[in-house]
Amino acid sequence: MKHYGVLIKSDNALLAEQEERFPISEGKKRLRQALSLRAIPSTLYGCECLLKEYGDSGEWHHVSKFANCVDYYDVGEVLELFEQPTQELLTMAKAKKPQPAEVNEVNVVIRWKEFEGKGRYWRSYECDYVGKASIRGDWIQFNGKRKKLSGNHIDVEDIDALRDLIATSLERTIEKLIITSDKARISTSEAVYTKKCHNLTHAIRGTRKLIRAPGYLETWKRRMKPTRQGQDIDG
């Protein structure tokens, strides 16, 4: 069917609708109306569940000017089941839509890939973000973007949950450097001390978490700073 020369629905889509098969948005309304005439309580969400469970035969048709492929569901087939409905059918018919997942505000480190171009001429590039984000179900929103947590090209780490782990890891690194250091050499050689600071900085970077790196570095410096030339740090 065309409207002002633009394809609105294919002929097969029109034929399907004449035979009581519709897209889910239209089908659930018609199913609810039909159940209401039979005095069967129902909800739009319940009718949607019924169609997807019992009225889905894999049929689809082209609709809209973009010729989108839309799934069609058999309302008539579902209604036949209600000639002698089971308790399961009656319960599903009046099912209520689950409440939206709770939104959690978290501090995160996010790394993901963006893709641009088309056909053979496309490329991907790495992106990252550190800061606050909102998580609802399987989706995360941050800095005006929305990504699926279970996606293949995204890695999300909860900063707050990682703080203790990072702290423990870095504290162990500090203790190891202190224990294995020759205090006399450190106190008599500023160059050695500087080298140790450099090593610690790289150890911190090795965790890929720079959240509290400056604080740990200052702590290490205070504990390891030589007092005066030739004197042991403890003495």
Q: How many whole angstroms separate alpha carbon 96 and alpha carbon 53?
A: 16
What are the structural domain ranges in the chain? 2-93, 103-159, 160-224
Contact 10, 62 (CB under 8 A): yes
What proportion of the chain, given as a percentage, has pLDDT over 90?
A: 26
Q: b vs e for 34-58, b when ≥16 Cβ sit within 10 Å of the residue's Cβ? A: bbeeeeeebbebbbbbbbeebbeee
Higher pLDDT, 166 or 133: 133
Helical spans, DSSP H, in 11-73? 11-18, 24-37, 44-54
Residue count of the chain = 235
Q: Helices 190-205 and 159-180: crossing angle, nearest 10°?
A: 150
What is the model's pLDDT at position 218? 64
On the question of pLDDT at 181 being above 60, the answer is no
Neighbours of 172 (CB within 10 A): 11
Higher pLDDT, 63 or 234: 63
Q: Could you tell me the pTM of the whole model?
A: 0.44
Q: How confident is the model at residue 178 (pLDDT cuts 50, 70, 90)?
A: low
